[in-house]
Structure 1
Amino acid sequence: MGIWAACNGVALAIGPTLGGLLIHYWGWRSIFLAVVPFSIAAVVLAVLHIPESADPQARHFDLFAQLAGALALATLAFAAIEAHAHWRWALAALFVCLLAVGLFVRIEKHHGAAALVPLDLLGIAAFRGAVTGTLGMTFGMYAVLFLLPLTWQATGQLSTLGAGLALMPMALVFVLVSPFSGAGTRIWGVRSITCGGVVVIATGLAMIGLGSGAGHLLADEIGLALTGVGMGMATGPLMGAAVGAVSAARAGTASSLINVARMAGATLGVAILGAIYTVAGSGPAGLRVAMMSGAIVQGICVALAWQQIGKPKG
């Protein structure tokens, strides 16, 4: 799991820097085209080298649950983005989100153990804790990746290429710390390493927020480094906690749901903290409010995860 998390760190190191180069020379559209060959390579390598596994409980692709879940997340993100400018549209989107969630739960209850998301998994305390910790982790981290370079460029501190390079400390520390997360789990326990990691990320966000508008990058780089440390500490162990909380036959489902939680946290973090950034006036002032808000949300997620991770099954 530590090596897997380190690969995430490598991607974070390559992505922003390569993205800055692509935008600088070929425009913003090129960053989307650059993903295509990597995606094709991943599919081919998976077919060739990943052995097939099967859940014996006759699970199947559930199109309607997939659509309902996607609609719920999309409308929630839309409501967060539009709340400050078009509150009527935001309320309508939130209403659709609630309907989609209700439909999703009804479909999954009907399918039982064969559901896209078996609801009984959420009855496992350690799994719930891992999901909550993962949501909090990416809620803040991806918002940093979005808002901090935006502020650097809007204030003229850095170019697109410079912003990509300035994000490197987070990625490099992430790569360095991740392989040791397993040893940290053995020494301090899964609850301490996962929740502690998210606390370190929240500290990084607070550092960036407090240093916003200072006119130099020192506080930003320290905050990014702390964010990388926290990601390295928590990413692999959170996945391990989720997979370890379920039976072997459901390990694939658990790992998939944790990845969904990662992306859901990222989507909502960018949407909600981005909206807060705009409402607070954008620029350094908006960044300060958004980062402190993100740190508070992460603290709440840590408190909830701490109560659940480490509890016995059932």
Structure 2
Amino acid sequence: MTILAHIFAVLLLVSLCAGECHDIDTKACELMQQQNPNLCKDPSLSSAACPRFCKLCPLVCHHCEASVLNFTDCSTSKTCQVGEQCMLHQLTSSKDGHHEYRMNCASLEMCDGTGLMPFGRRDIQTHCCSEDMCNFPTTIPTTIPTTIPTTSSPPVCNRNIEILIQDSQDKTASQYNIQFVKDLASHLVIGPTNNLVGLAILDYSVHRRLHIDSHQSLSELMQALDRLPFHQDVSTVTVSDVSHYLTRELDHLHLDGRASYKNSVVIIADHTASPEAHHHLPPHIDGHTGHTQLSSVTVINVGGASPAGLSQLATDSNHVINVNDYASLRNSLSKVLQLICS
């Protein structure tokens, strides 16, 4: 047994005690598979060290038992039972054509249609899948209310994505912010060789909450987003604070094997931030930070431009998006996806 395998065996004890089904280190699993293509066929290593990487864990699915008109309102997830799959019901009313959605875990019998309950006079489309968080609509029907953006297929790209959320006194802001990030991630391929997402909260300083390489699957990212803390207070962070944070964080990515990936930044700015936080962008900050290339910076102003002046950080005026309130964040999703991959 190799030294790395011994290390995995020791770390496994911690994982078992926690009662969780997670990889000891997903990046290490990827490296192990490069050295040993039969890693997932090895019953000891696959189950002990890399169960999620080798698809041995129960699935994590979008979970919303009650029907919702807007599928982005289904913001919770659930760990299924062993053998269950993720199920998506798309219900279309025979009366007026409106759509409703249910997302949950389902047995194989349910996926085969056994035991499905009628939902009145409606057409029902049922889809089951066997990947984490896969029970999410991939297209947006034209009959959804116009407040929901109708987008074409999302662009395909692989990026290091840093999301910065400015704290707000608006008590509803955090739930809309988290849902927006979940929607964004659901339209991207999350993985060690695809897109990775980091996140920081801007309150009296810049506080990193999710390191960009700490959650290397969509299910891990979704669960981490559910645990994000917000102070719900006035943000006093300055443009200089944000600039220095981005320079430091993105410059470190070359040490983590992500130097070849372009970097995209999304900032959600709040109009109630303290005016005292407004400082001009330091002249030495530009679109290139040391070892890593900064591809784009998109700033979403909620309720008006942030007094902190964060729009200065945007790549150009096309990368500044204004929305009326936090409930309207979802309307910017399509454009943000395009700008991330531009």
Whether TM-score is above 0.5 comes out as no
TM-score tier after normalising by the smaller chain length: under 0.3
Greater RCO structure (CA 8 Å; 6+ sep): 1
Instruction: Output the TM-score relative to the length of structure 1.
Output: 0.27
Q: Is the strand fraction higher in 1 or 2? A: 2
Q: Is the helix fraction higher in 1 or 2? A: 1
Instruction: Output the TM-score relative to the length of structure 2.
Output: 0.25
